[in-house]
Structure 1
Amino acid sequence: MKRTDLEKNKALKIMGKMKAATPPARFAGETVLDRREQRRLDQAAGLVSFPVKLTQPVIDALNARAAADGVSMNELVNRLLGQALEQ
């Protein structure tokens, strides 16, 4: 390999390690779980990731309602979808 290719590979390794690392607790405010641990806790709680595309006005309304109710976005969407499905 050329020297420039070796340097590019080293840079890619460093960038991959930086993306995979969790921020130190002093920046996160509280202890931050790594992704595997968080995924394990979510699975134990019965939570499933469900990506969905929404328009910006809907997202703004959800954010405003979550802030007004004092709950997280996940809790709000879970509650609203549950109510809609019951009807």
Structure 2
Amino acid sequence: MSMKKTDLDRLAGLKLDTALRGQAAPGRFGQAATALPDRKARRKLDAAAGLVPFACKLPAALTEQLRERAASHEGGINALVAELLAQGLKA
């Protein structure tokens, strides 16, 4: 049984769509993507450094304060939160 032209066009479109989805996304704004490790490699690096993911829910006002302070903190938000938790647990 032969296929109709519309069926052939649809399959060709699916093949093209699949091929495009398999490619890596280009760098944003014309910049080449930096060599960042993928998630699996990042988790291994974090585990080797003794880091453990820890999620919690905080009020929006508090998170905004954390982001503002983290902008000027040397280690970013992760180091800032670790420092603040360490200080709070000492008291």
Residue identity matched to 2:81: V
Which residue pairs with 1:74 in the alignment? 78
What is the Cα-based RMSD across aligned positions, in Å?
2.6
Using the aligned pairs only, state the percent identity: 36
Higher helix share: 1
Is 1:62 the counterpart of 2:51 in the alignment? no
Question: Mean Cα displacement is larger for which, 42-51 or 62-71?
Answer: 62-71
Which residue pairs with 1:34 in the alignment? 38
User: Cα distance, 1:31 vs. partner?
Assistant: 1.1
* Cα distance in 1, alignment partners of residues 70 and 57 from structure 2: 18
| Structure index of larger Rg | 2
Please give the per-residue CA displacement for 1:30-83, whole angstroms capped at 9, x wherever unaligned.
211011100000000000000011111000000111113343111100000001
* Cα distance in 1, alignment partners of residues 24 and 85 from structure 2: 32
Distance 1:55 1:22, change over 3 A: farther
SS in 1 for 2:81: helix
Q: TM-score, normalised by structure 1?
A: 0.66
Distance 1:24 1:48, change over 3 A: farther
- Count of aligned positions: 70
User: Cα distance, 1:24 vs. partner?
Assistant: 5.6
Q: TM-score, normalised by structure 2?
A: 0.64
Residue identity matched to 1:46: G
Ranges in structure 2 where 5+ consecutive residues have no aligned partner: 1-10
Q: Which has the higher contact order (CA 8 A, sep 6+)?
A: 1
